[in-house]
Amino acid sequence: MKKKTITLAQGNGGEENNELISKVFYKAFKNEILEQSEDAAVIHGGELAFSTDSFTVSPLFFAGADIGKLAVCGTCNDLAMMGAKPKYLTCSVIIEEGFELESLERIVESMQRELEINGAIVVSGDTKVVPRGSVDKIFINTTGIGEIIKKGISSNSITCDDVILVNRDIGCHGATIFVAREGMEMSSALESDCNSLYPQVKALLDANIAITAMRDATRGGAAAVLNEWAKQSDVCIEVEEEKIPVSDEVGGICEMLGFEATALANEGTFVLAVKKEDSDKAVEILKSFDVCAKASIIGSVTSMHPKKVILKSAWGTKRFLETPTGELLPRIC
């Protein structure tokens, strides 16, 4: 690593973030569980999933969610991506002196509502209050344990027998945070996709859908997920650009500001690798959820260019879809 100090770009979920993790943390903590690079660690003989995440989003309250809902969804979704039912969470908060008690109560109530959706409970935690200026209002860490109900789901096992799906339209969270942060007034229904994914995952598993891999497309968006998968499984992922669902609102913001929707963060959107014979059924199941009306098959897995993602346009052109780089939207989660 050439940089001698940490930059915001190293927290964006893209190339710089991957380099930081691999050359600092993976180097120090190297072990075979960590090296699987999954959304959650699979432990205890494959029976449990284990994950942790910290949340620093700004602003704390935004269209569709708040930092409390985000904290529970983020950790529970990581467990769900490994085919696990969220069971137990810890909650640690760092609160700035002077933070409004009413806001804290709103955040905690939001967390409890989302815990009920997942059927999980908070069983331990920690609270720190620090002097003004030490943190920006409130930071939350949640750690979760889930019971794996479908073993073998792994982003290291994707093959040419799989097709690639998304459960809904992409980029809503990143676009919503940008609009809220910049104080932009929009006459639209744009809101974060922040949502608990376990009910959708359970429906797929109950229907015995042959799922190879799942990953929620948070920091770095769908582009980061697809590139991570291509590298981890040593495959080429070919994506049809026109099949990637993007709302008019998100598309408009991307066009206006030069963003790529595939690089925008999500908090209720996940990518799936599913066996070809089950792909249509998987889309049908997902579409039974109101928020998944735009669930789609967006691509296939080939051996054309191993470790690469190819984006195919409606006009027949092709280009590599790279892992996002640079500082896009800091503190989106």
Respond yes or no on whether the N-terminal peptide bond of residue 306 is cis (omega within 30° of 0).
Answer: no
Asked whether residue 2 is domain-assigned, the answer is: no
User: Which residues are CB-contacts of 61 (< 8 A; sequence separation ≥ 6)?
Assistant: 67, 103, 106
Residue type, 35: E
Closest CA to 35 of 232, 308, 272, 266: 232
On whether residue 156 sits in a domain, the answer given is: no
| Same domain (yes/no): 308, 191 | yes
> What pLDDT, on the 0 to 100 scale, is given for residue 1?
60
Domain assignment present for 154: no
Query: Is there a single domain that holds both residue 192 and residue 275?
Result: yes
Asked whether residue 128 falls in the same domain as residue 203, the answer is no
Boundary residue ending a domain (121, 148, 175) = 148
Number of domains present in the structure of the chain: 2
Whether residues 292 and 224 fall in one domain: yes
pLDDT tens sequence across 138-169? 999 999 999 999 999 999 999 999 999 999 99
**Neighbour-count burial for 236-269, b at 16+ CB within 10 Å, e otherwise:** bbbbbbeebbbbebbeebbeeeebbbbbbbbbbb
Identify whether residues 144 and 256 lie together within a single domain.
no
The domain boundary, picked from 114, 148, 182, lies at: 148
Low-confidence ranges of the chain (pLDDT < 70): 1-3, 12, 186-187, 327
Q: Is residue 282 part of a domain?
A: yes
Q: 211 and 89 in one domain?
A: no
- Are the beta carbons of 103 and 65 closer than 8 angstroms? no
Same domain, 112 and 250: no
pLDDT tens string 77-103: 999 999 999 999 999 999 999 999 999
Residues 143 and 167 in one domain: no
- pLDDT score of 18: 79
Residue 22: inside a domain: no
Q: What is the pTM for the complete model shown? A: 0.94
Is-contact 121 115, C-beta < 8 A? yes
CATH of the domain at 199: 3.90.650.10
Q: Are residues 181 and 127 in the same domain?
A: no
Residue span of the structural domain in which 100 resides: 31-148
Q: Which of 148, 173, 196 is the last residue of a domain?
A: 148
Asked whether residue 167 falls in the same domain as residue 316, the answer is yes
Whether 12 maps to a domain, the answer reads: no
Q: Could you tell me if 218 and 113 lie in one domain?
A: no
Does any domain span residue 14?
Answer: no
Whether 332 is in a domain gets the answer: no
Same domain, 139 and 167: no
